[in-house]
Amino acid sequence: MKKNIKKLIFKLLNDEDPSERRYAAEELTYFDERAVYPLIKALKDESPAVQDAATQALIAIGTSLDEDRFSSNPGELVTYMVIPLLREEEAYIRNTALLILTEIGNKAPFLIYQLLKDKDPDVRKFGLDLIADIKSGFDGEKVIPLLKDPNANVRAAAARAIGELRYEKAVSALIECLNDEEWVSFYVLQALASLRSSDAAKAIGELLLTTDSLLVKAEAIDTLGKIGTQEVIEPLLKYYPIATKDEKREIIKALVRVEALPKDEDIKDELLSLIKEGEWEEKALAFKGVKITNLKEAVPLLVEEAGKLDPSCFDYDEKISLIQDTLLGIDSEEELLFLLEKDKLKYRAKAFVINTLGKMRSTKAIPTLLRFLEDIKRDIRIASAKALGNIGDKESVQPLVARSVEDVDVNVRKAAIEALGMIRAKEAFEPLLELVQKETYPDVIESIVISLIEIDQDRFLNNLKSYSTEVKLAVANVTYSLDILNMLLQCDILDVRKAAIMALGKLGTPEAISKITEFIFSENKEIKKAAISALGEAQFCSDLLFECLNDEDPWIRYYTVKALSKSCEPEILIEKLTPLLDDPFPPVVIATIEVLSFFGGSEIYDILYSKKEHPNKEIREKIEEVLSRI
């Protein structure tokens, strides 16, 4: 290092090639305090690349944790030497100095504090800007006196710094500055908004009534909205009657946040305007205002808004739920029925209205929904069936039975079947029981089984032995009853018993696990594999599974590795699975590698690295892939 620093400094300051000067600046990052002054000089280099390299080198030195290579604190040293650049005439140099000090200034706050006492107001402002941007390590108490600085820019910067520091003890001092010059008042309001100071609400309200500045008024309203406590209600309501149209809009938004809209003022148009023209955040506030005021006139706009939403967007569910919650929170039933009966809605909006009427369990909607159960569009039929299920009226049972049997679309049939289960109509039992023996789609069979159990579980289970394999499998997949699963375990059909064992794993109770362990010793390999998988589903780490790692059947060992990955702690898995890297059955080895790869770390790397010359090509490739990721 000592041999090269002089050559690097000479190259930095004198080499004709800018790439060499840049290289020298980058290398000086790794030297001691002797590099600082040359790097500061290089900030004035004609090459932007050299300037940037010098800037980054100074930041790296100033934030270095390797203090042993410096004779003094590197952060304090760089800060001390960069501060004079704030007085340079060239704006680029001043801005670069601010950039460097922002990154390292928290290493020497006492040096930044000294700037606050400087005779030059620009330097005092620079000091405050640095405190505001750095935040960490600075005391807001030292900033308060500068709220009385003779220079307005300095006072504004002081207010900003207090807000950024979240220094609550300065609230009284900030309130005293509310009637300062426009620009200062603006930053004072921003600081009070950051502090969310309810103590300032009254003073801000008085400012609203007395100031002539439109900028200050707008910021005052915004600040009261951000404070968002009960204290802001009175000043906002007091100003509302004399506010401009735009100001009223902002006041409404602020009052919605605290759920306190003016009772004696007609704010309907403002809320409707926000729904029509606002950004989504503004619309969401308007929805809240609609609920507070029970604004039924907003129903058509809410439905239109729901119809415009794209279901493929990531936030669709959140937005559609917010609109629906708004409709459910007001007296919207009559308006929604009117929109449906007009039959001019596009299908997406129509489906939304149908779904909403279902959720509010509107019995008035039943005649219309029964008509839409025959609609040409399948989504409308599906929505109508689900809505009728939610409403739960017996009047819709026979039409739903007809849809569950006759509809050409399987999704409509499924929706109708599920609706019948929700209604729990006894008269639907026989048609569904007949249908379940004919249905071919497994998911629809499951829906029928669920509905039959909902309608009359005992009656359905009385004939369990007589049902088809598909029905029994569906019962195993949907039930959480240990008694029902025990019945299925007596079945002669292997797939049904396997499904019942897997269902016990999903149930995961001590009784269910106890039952599963009985099948670990089964002579039937398929049953044994099902039991092993079920213990994995139940996250049951036990000696029984460890013993299965030594089973003579390679697929038993494979299933055991998979089950253990779901049920045991990493330390246990590493210990128990590592020997299987030498298993003669490649699928077992590959499964073991995949499980171990989830843990990563040097231990796993070393274990797998020792096997990288495995004779099996597929295993070698798998190990190489995992090693590249760890």
Per-residue pLDDT tens digits for 512-534: 999 999 999 999 999 999 999 99
pLDDT band at 50 (very low <50, low <70, confident <90, very high): very high
The whole-chain average pLDDT of the chain stands at 93
- End-to-end CA distance of the chain: give it in Å, rounded: 35
pLDDT band at 2 (very low <50, low <70, confident <90, very high): very low
pLDDT band at 3 (very low <50, low <70, confident <90, very high): very low
> Given the structure tokens 């706050």, which residue do they identify?
109
Specify the 3-state DSSP secondary structure of 104.
Answer: helix
The tens digit of pLDDT for each residue in 490-512 reads 999 999 999 999 999 999 999 99
Mean predicted confidence (pLDDT) in 459-473: 93
Specify the 3-state DSSP secondary structure of 121.
Answer: helix
> Given the structure tokens 């809240």, which residue do they identify?
288
pLDDT band at 602 (very low <50, low <70, confident <90, very high): confident
| Burial class, 118, CB count within 10 angstroms (exposed 0-12 / middle 13-18 / buried 19+) | middle
Task: Give, in degrees to the nearest 5, the angle at Cα 508 between 502 and 514.
Answer: 85
The tens digit of pLDDT for each residue in 277-329 reads 999 999 999 999 999 999 999 999 999 999 999 999 999 999 999 999 999 99
Local structure of residue 150 (DSSP, 8 states): S
- Amino acid identity of residue 189, one-letter, is L
DSSP E strand boundaries for 166-308: none
The whole-angstrom separation of Cα 484 and Cα 488 is 6
The highest-level CATH class for domain 463-568 is: mainly alpha
Q: What is the pLDDT of residue 75?
A: 87
Choose among 12, 33, 49: nearest CA to 81: 33
User: Does the pLDDT at position 605 exceed 70?
Assistant: yes
* Residues 215 and 186: beta-carbon distance below 8 Å: yes
Token digits of residue 182: 């426009």
pTM of structure: 0.73
The tens digit of pLDDT for each residue in 544-581 reads 999 999 999 999 999 999 999 999 999 999 999 999 99
User: Does the pLDDT at position 475 exceed 90?
Assistant: yes
In percent, the amount of the chain with pLDDT more than 90 equals: 83
- What distances in angstroms separate CA 627 from CA 582, 593, 612, 613, one per listed residue? 18, 10, 9, 13
Q: What is the pLDDT of residue 46?
A: 92
The tens digit of pLDDT for each residue in 214-265 reads 999 999 999 999 998 999 999 998 999 899 988 988 999 889 888 888 765 6
Q: What is the pLDDT of residue 264?
A: 59
User: Does the pLDDT at position 68 exceed 80?
Assistant: no
The whole-angstrom separation of Cα 626 and Cα 231 is 60
| Burial class, 487, CB count within 10 angstroms (exposed 0-12 / middle 13-18 / buried 19+) | middle
User: Does the pLDDT at position 156 exceed 70?
Assistant: yes
Q: What is the pLDDT of residue 305?
A: 96
Q: What is the pLDDT of residue 67?
A: 72
User: Does the pLDDT at position 62 exceed 50?
Assistant: yes
pLDDT band at 11 (very low <50, low <70, confident <90, very high): confident
The whole-angstrom separation of Cα 308 and Cα 302 is 10
The stretches of 72-167 forming alpha helices (DSSP H) are: 74-82, 91-104, 109-115, 121-134, 152-165
Lowest mean pLDDT among 72-86, 165-179, 519-533: 72-86
In percent, the amount of the chain with pLDDT more than 70 equals: 99
User: Does the pLDDT at position 436 exceed 70?
Assistant: yes
* Residues 224 and 204: beta-carbon distance below 8 Å: yes
Token digits of residue 624: 């190489």
Domain boundaries, the chain: 463-568, 570-630
pLDDT band at 540 (very low <50, low <70, confident <90, very high): very high
User: Does the pLDDT at position 66 exceed 80?
Assistant: no
* DSSP letter string, 472-500: HHHHHHH---HHHHHHHTT-S-HHHHHHH
Q: What is the pLDDT of residue 374?
A: 94
Q: What is the pLDDT of residue 535?
A: 96
The tens digit of pLDDT for each residue in 372-396 reads 999 999 999 999 999 999 999 999 9
> Given the structure tokens 């449906």, which residue do they identify?
340
* Residues 396 and 369: beta-carbon distance below 8 Å: yes
The whole-angstrom separation of Cα 626 and Cα 254 is 55
Contacts of 201 (CB under 8 A, 6+ apart): 224, 227, 229, 231, 232, 234, 235
